[in-house]
Every structure is written in structure tokens, then in C-alpha cells.
Structure 1
Amino acid sequence: MITIHLKYEIDVEELESFEEYGRRWVRLVNRFGGTHHGYFLPSEGDSDIAYALFSFPSLAAYERYREDSATDPECQAAFELARETRCIKRYERRFLRPLDGLS
């Protein structure tokens, strides 16, 4: 399994647009065979940082999702929402793996 951690710097004036963007991607990631663990929005502390976590069974499955989402109309509409509203200033992506065998 691979988990993708996204850190977003968002425009707080476009928080509603970012929330809509997030709602779309939760559904889309799940449709493409992943498990979306949610978006986490600012509450205390930094007001312009948000996070998202989602997993795929393997790196190969994640790569298929990336390829398929590049031509999917719903995915493209979600990307366009972010471009039009500029709700995302920048983002960072990290790939994580779980530590198994904890007791």
C-alpha cells in the first residue's frame, strides 16, 4: 500500500472553492480504486495550510490513477475549478508507506 500526503497552501478568500475541490477529489479517488482519508482544513494555527491523505493498494495502482485521471472529464473539471478560482497557491506531495507489524 502507498499513501499520498498532500500539503496545500490555499487562498483563504477561496476556502469554499477549495472545499468543493476537496469534495470532488474524495469521490474521484474512491471511484478510481483508492481510499481517500479526507481533507483537513485550517482550524487553529496556520490559516492557509490544508492537508489531504489518500491511499492506493500499490504504486502501480496510483500510477494508473494518475494516467486515467489525466483524461477523465470529472477530474479535468476539478482541476479547472482550482485553476479558475486560484484556491490553491501551491502544493507538496509525499509518498508514505505504513509500518506493519506493530504490537
Structure 2
Amino acid sequence: MITVHLRYEIDPEKLADFEEYGRRWVRLVDRFGGSHHGYFLPSEGDSDIAYALFSFESLAAYERYRTDSATDPECQEAFELARTTGCIRRYERRFLRPLDGGR
């Protein structure tokens, strides 16, 4: 299993747009065979940092998702939402593996 950890720097004035972006990707990742663990939004502390976690059974499955999502119309709409609203300033992606296979 591979888990993707995303750290977003967001525009706090556009939190509603980012929430919509997140709702779309939870559904899309699940549709592409992944397991989305959710988006985690600012509460206390930094107002411009958010996180997301989702997993695929393997790095190969994740790569298939990346390839397929690049041409999927719904995925392109989600990317366009972020681009046109400017709700995401930047993001970082990390790949993690669970200890003992996640048991």
C-alpha cells in the first residue's frame, strides 16, 4: 500500500472553494480505485494550511490513477476550479507506507 500525503498552502479567503475542491477529489480518488482518508482543514493555529491523505494498493495503482485522471473530464473540472479560484497557493506531495502493512 502507498499513502499520499498532501500539504496545501491555501488562500484562507477562499476556503469555501477549497472545500468544494476537496469534496470533488474525495469522490474522484475513490472512483479511481483509491481510498480517500479525507481533507483536514485549518481550525486552530495556521489559517492557510490544509492536508489530505489517500491510499492506493500500490505505487503502480497510483500511477494508473495519475495517468487516467489526466484525461478525465471531472478531474479536469476539479483542477480548473482550483486554478480559476486561486484557492490553492501551492502544495507538497509525499509518499508514505504504513508500518507492518497497516495492520
Same fold (TM over 0.5): yes
1:102: how far off?
8.6
Find the residue that maps to 2:99 and give its secondary structure: coil
Cα distance change on mapping 1:84 and 1:57 into 2, 3 Å:
same
TM (norm. structure 1) is 0.97
CA distance in 2, matches of 1:13, 1:80: 18
Residues paired across the two proteins, number: 103
Please give the residue correspondences for 1:6-85 in structure 2 after superposition, counting only pairs within 5 Å.
6-85=6-85
CA distance in 2, matches of 1:40, 1:63: 24
> Among the aligned pairs, what percent are the same residue?
84
Find the residue that maps to 1:65 and give its secondary structure: helix
Off by >2 Å, runs of 4+ in structure 1: none
Cα distance change on mapping 1:67 and 1:102 into 2, 3 Å:
closer
For 1:34, the aligned partner's letter is G
1:88: how far off?
0.1
For 1:37, the aligned partner's letter is H
Who is 1:100 aligned against? Answer: 100
Unmatched 5+ stretches in structure 2: none
